[in-house]
Amino acid sequence: MPGYAPTPKADEHVPASLAALKIVIAGGFGVGRTTLVSAVSEIDPLTTEEYLTVASAGTDRLTGVEHKARTTVAMDFGRITFRQPPMVLLLFGVPGQERFWFTWQDLITGALGAVVLVDTRRLESCFDAVDYFEQRGLPFVVAVNQFDGSHSYTPQEIRRALDVTEQVPVVLCDARERRSASEVLITLVNHALSRLSQRAHP
């Protein structure tokens, strides 16, 4: 392009290669996906939110979230940077319903794994996401976000209700707490590791 100086040499501060890893956080409507991403992200999460329209009221079930004025129809984006070794963990929160699957394909390519966030009041809203990750063989964990006023179930009960295998971790969490939310991610990475060692030594 005219008027521009020649291409510079690489900046020595930043390594030429940087490990950037993705974790996908899928959850149905009003399950606390944005909350979880903001709890673990080092930056304020970037979210495209739009008002829930009257048109979607018949499609999205509102039980337990009748007073929720806004819902995320796009994506939440968060980031955690590790200094040593230099790595960036990118968190993508995506809507769980099947009609949003077309937005997932690019995201799960090269993803380390996924978290399916669950609200026990509307368990069926996460069936789609569980099916999706099972079919594609991506390591995933089920994280049950515990809301005040929701009946508390044991992880075993939830596992049976969702019909996921014993290998898939089911954990309870508080999506608002950084420590609790980080534990969910730790469980996911542990699960991905143990799947690898099972494959290596069946």
Partner 1 sequence: MLRAGRVSPDEPSPEAKQVLQLCRAGPRSVAEIAATLGLPVQVTKIILSDLIDCGALSFVVPTITSGDPASDPQLLEAVLAGLRAYAQGR
Applying CB under 8 A, the residues found at the interface with partner 1 are 1, 3-11, 14-22, 40, 46-48, 75, 77, 79-82, 85, 87-90, 92, 110-113, 138-139, 178-179, 182-183, 185-186, 189-190, 192-193, 195-197
The SS3 call for residue 184 is helix
CA distances from 112 to 78, 83, 119, 190, 197 (A): 15, 19, 23, 11, 15
- Closest distance of CB 143 from partner 1, Å: 14
User: By the 8 A CB rule, do 145 and 31 touch?
Assistant: yes
Nearer to partner 1, 66 or 135 (CB): 135
Nearer to partner 1, 150 or 182 (CB): 182
- Closest distance of CB 28 from partner 1, Å: 22
Nearer to partner 1, 24 or 118 (CB): 24
Q: Which of 93, 86, 82, 81 is nearest to 37 (CA)?
A: 93
- Closest distance of CB 186 from partner 1, Å: 5
Residue 152 phi, psi dihedral angles, 5° rounding: -90, 130
